Amino acid sequence: NAGVMQNPRHLVRRRGQEARLRCSPMKGHSHVYWYRQLPEEGLKFMVYLQKENIIDESGMPKERFSAEFPKEGPSILRIQQVVRGDSAAYFCASSPYRDEQYFGPGTRLTVT
């Protein structure tokens, strides 16, 4: 059973470009969470999704950020018009229920 997959592992974008981060949950998991981790800081909740539904997006900035988890395919975290402050590690986690979460390897976004 493959673990949570994220790609790309490293992403470099210039200011103003778009970043698309993908997360494939573990087989059988229908709950996906996205977290952001700034250098030397903790994990900050961004958004919680189930298939085709956003359950809680209270941690996600209201502008430029969006997330989806379509019926088929991976969950996508999309950041439009990136700025330097968006540089961080973005982790997704999946869960078969609403609690136990298993993390992917993360995508390290660098905005130049």
Partner 1 sequence: GENVEQHPSTLSVQEGDSAVIKCTYSDSASNYFPWYKQELGKRPQLIIDIRSNVGEKKDQRIAVTLNKTAKHFSLHITETQPEDSAVYFCAATPGDDMRFGAGTRLTVKP
Among 10, 55, 78, 83, the residue binding partner 1 under the rule CB under 8 A is 55
Q: Is 22 in the site for partner 1 (CB under 8 A)?
A: no
Q: How far apart are CA 13 and CA 100, in angstroms?
A: 32
Is residue 41 near partner 1 by the rule CB under 8 A? yes
Query: Considering only residues 1, 2, 58, 84, which one is a binding residue for partner 1 as defined by CB under 8 A?
Result: 58
Of 104, 43, 39, 109, residue with least CA distance to 79: 109
> Pairing relation of β-strands 31-37 and 43-50?
antiparallel
Selected from 69, 101, 109, 111, the binder of partner 1 by CB under 8 A is 101
From residue 53, alpha-carbon distances to 26, 61, 67, 106 in Å are: 18, 18, 10, 22
Residue 3 vs 17, nearer CB to partner 1: 3
Contacting residues toward partner 1, per CB under 8 A: 33, 35, 41-45, 48, 55-56, 58-59, 91, 98-106
